[in-house]
A and B are shown apart, each in its own frame.
Chain A
Amino acid sequence: MAQYRDEGVVIRTIRLGEADRIVTMVSPEHGKIRAVAKGVRKTKSRIGARLEPLSHVSLLCWQGRELDVVTQVELIDAFRPVREDLHRLGAAMTMLEIVEQFSLEHHPMPELFTMLVRALETLERTAAPMLLGAFCWKVLALEGFAPVVDSCARCGEDGELVAFDAADGGFLCRRCRRGQAVSPGAVELVRRVLGGGLAGVLGEPAGPAAQEMEHLATSAVELHLDRRLRTTRHHLAEPSASSAPGGQGA
């Protein structure tokens, strides 16, 4: 068995036996890592707190046949401000889910990992409303699914783009339109995110175009992954009226 060192961001943990957990992480050098962390559910465990989802850690692991074993963990960043704000936490969980889906075991993914850590660091500093949407577009571009935003994805014409169809590979003009109708504001946001204007977009306030941009982004990710994202189904930030009897308290 070989020992290795890497960084990781914890995606999820599941209970194993009496006091252990199986931790799923993404890492730059080893892609997705699934490893057993022994004894971490006991209150006296020092590494248990460090292996919570969202934590950015430095790891020492033993390579195993199916599951690795975590032997040392040092915390790089726990992203506390993100954990303590339901809205930011929801966005972060969606980012984790997307990165997990795009990662494979034993396949290095340094760019995707850096992108995730940078996005989480941004979320730690500010509750940028457009971060999740922008992150989705950037991930799609990195994976080779960048949408066509400068001209119609079907006929190549330069005119106004009025619709988006992920299967067609981008935005469509009035003549070729199908899929989802989009506003000029949302098209412009996607163009800026992918065209080097990310910092500017992240500094802007929320609005209908931002929401639309995020919705387009998550549905494009879902199409490319060929599965629904679980984390977008529950909006933790707004206690839903459906869980309150007669809508009280919501």
Chain B
Amino acid sequence: MIVEVKEKTVLCSACFNVTVSPLCPICADPRRDATQLCVVEDPRDIVAVERTREFRGRYHVLGGALSPIEGVGPEQLRVRELLARIEADEVAEVILCTNPNLEGDATAMYLARLLRPLGVKVTRIASGLPVGGDLEYADELTLGRALEGRREVDA
């Protein structure tokens, strides 16, 4: 069984998701919006975003995040492939969906700086409080970011 998984799975040739066909089901689906590209660190993050059912675009898996202290630079990530896709696929918006930690934030800042000259809209996922949680138990950094990213309530 485990051997079979190892033999059959490959990386999608477009987004580098884990799949059993040359193109993953998301990249092969013509109903997905090709103008929106969600950049994630890891194939498992695709599963997490898909569960939200909020996103109808496509993905790009970087294969990690920048970490100077561990010696991971842009060359070790699929940054070149991302740029090539943005050029070829007429992407209008890139959503930077890396982890909200030091490495993920640094990766998002780096990519934003790299992508902006290409004339593509670059957005970063919001950061805030978990639904169903209690405000008094929130840590100061998360709550601070949630306050900073507040928005007007449409009533």
Contact = CB atoms under 8 A, between A and B. Distances in A.
A86 to B, nearest CB: 5
B106 A86 contact: yes
A243 B75 contact: yes
B12 interface: no
Q: Main secondary structure on chain B at its contact with chain A? A: helix
A53 interface: yes
Interface residues of A, number: 37
Interface stretch (B33-41, B53-61, B65-73): B65-73
A109 interface: no
Interface in B121-145: 130, 133, 137-142
A243 B79 CA distance: 6
Contacts of A52: 101-102
Contact of B69 (A12, A44, A245): A12
Interface of B: 66, 68-71, 73-75, 79-80, 83-84, 87, 101-102, 105-106, 109-110, 113-115, 117-118, 130, 133, 137-142
28 contacts: A11-B69, A12-B69, A43-B130, A44-B130, A46-B137, A48-B139, A52-B101, A52-B102, A53-B69, A53-B102, A54-B102, A78-B141, A86-B109, A89-B106, A90-B68, A93-B69, A97-B69, A231-B68, A231-B69, A233-B71, A234-B73, A236-B66, A236-B109, A236-B110, A239-B114, A240-B75, A243-B83, A249-B83
Interface of A: 11-12, 43-44, 46-50, 52-54, 75, 78, 83-84, 86, 89-90, 93-94, 96-97, 230-231, 233-234, 236, 239-240, 242-245, 248-250
